[in-house]
Each structure stands twice: as C-alpha cells, then as structure tokens.
Amino acid sequence: MGLRILIVEDDAVLADGMSSALRKYGYVVDCLADGAHADQALTTEDYDLTILDIGLPRMDGFEVLQRLRARRKKMPVLVLTARDELADRIKGLNLGADDYVIKPFELTELEARIRALIRRSMGEASPALEIGGLTLDMAARRVLLEGRTLDLTAREFGVLETLMSRAGRVVSKEQLNERLAPGAEDLAENAIEVYVSRLRKKITGADLSIRTVRGFGYLLEATPRA
C-alpha cells in the first residue's frame, strides 16, 4: 500500500486536481474540505503527510496545525496559502509547518516538496543535485565543481539550492527572498542581486548559467559545451 496523504482544501477543483495527480504518483489520498473534519481525522487516522490549506471553513488551518502539534504528532505538514502576507507564512512555520507552497503552484513542484518532506521524516539523506558539472549535496551542505569544493555563504548556498532544484524554470526574487528568510525581516532590496552576482563568479567553469529574466526573476540552465 502506498504512502497516505491527507489533503485539506475547500476549493473542490484544486483538491481534485491535487488528489488525481498524487494518486498517479502512487500515493493513497484522502480529501477533506473543512478544518473540523480534518482535526477529527488527524486525531483518529494515521497519515504520512498532510497538505493543509490555511483558509478553511469551521476551523482554520492554523488551529488544525496547532492542535496537531499539541498532540505531539510529528507527521510532516505542507501548508498551502494564497495569502501574500509574509506574516502568515511565518506563523505557519512557527506553529510547526514543515514547508509551504504559495498558490498558484505547479503540481510537479508540489510532488517534489512532498517527496523531500517524506524522505526527511523517514530519516533518509537528501539527494544531491547535479547539473553541468556542479554537485550540490543537500545533506552535507556543500557544493562541488568538478570535485573542487566551492566556498559559499549560507545564503549563497540557499540561492543556488533553490535555483538548481528548479532548473529550467524561472524563480522570482520574491521566492528566493522567502526561501532565504522565511522567519526574519525582509532582505535588503538588492540582496538577491548581490548573491546571484557572487554565485555567477564562483561557478565559473561549470556548464551552466544563471540568466536574468527581466521582470520575472532568474533561470538556471545547463549550457553544454560545443
């Protein structure tokens, strides 16, 4: 039997899309549309992961999460939110959420986040990312270029990890900001540009590039040698 996931989402179309996609990946999925039923299910049933919306009827996602953690349940929780306020995402993390995804999102990204959370909860090491001769070891928190260790700051590592995990897709400055400092004050206005500039210099020699997509963000892509 596959891993069990509970989706708590009152948007029926979104819930159906997520459940259909995750079932195709081999997960066993239950769906609930309000917080009160979710709280009851999480009290009596065993799930491997919960996908929890914040804006729920009868009991909001924050209270569901708080009650779950009060029962000392360590199951991973992935929070979904359409809210723009950074404070809401900080609140979710402080209450015990393991990760969050901002609507709208791609189902492939959601499934990747789920796999990472389940691996972590089962004590499995995070895999390495390898692109263009660059290897990023998420467990050891180090980056190798053709076998040579690169000296990166924690935030440079965070930017590179985010770009490599979404290689081939544009990542916005807001997304990078949120991944670097989800529980702190906003970064300086030009901080992301500074980190990207430093990374470009440090990864010189790798067969990849970090392109600026004006008005959207940054795109990391492999650049095979001729």
Residue 57: which CATH number? Answer: 3.40.50.2300
The residue segments making up the domain with residue 161 are: 128-222
Say whether both 9 and 112 belong to one domain: yes
pLDDT by residue for the chain (226 residues), tens only, comes to: 478 999 999 999 999 999 998 998 889 999 999 999 999 999 999 999 999 999 999 999 999 999 999 999 889 999 998 766 677 778 888 899 988 888 888 787 788 888 888 888 876 555 678 888 899 887 667 899 988 899 998 889 889 988 988 888 888 888 888 777 654 445 677 889 999 999 999 999 888 999 999 888 999 988 866 5
Q: From 104, 121, 138, give the residue that closes a domain.
A: 121
Say whether both 92 and 147 belong to one domain: no
Say whether both 8 and 66 belong to one domain: yes
Contacts 24+ apart (CB under 8 A), 154-163: 155/180, 155/191, 155/195, 156/195, 156/198, 156/199, 156/202, 159/192, 159/195, 159/196, 159/199, 160/136, 160/199, 160/203, 161/129, 161/136, 163/210, 163/218, 163/220
Q: From 64, 94, 121, give the residue that closes a domain.
A: 121
Per the structure, how many domains does the chain have? 2
CATH number at residue 209: 1.10.10.10
Q: From 121, 148, 168, give the residue that closes a domain.
A: 121
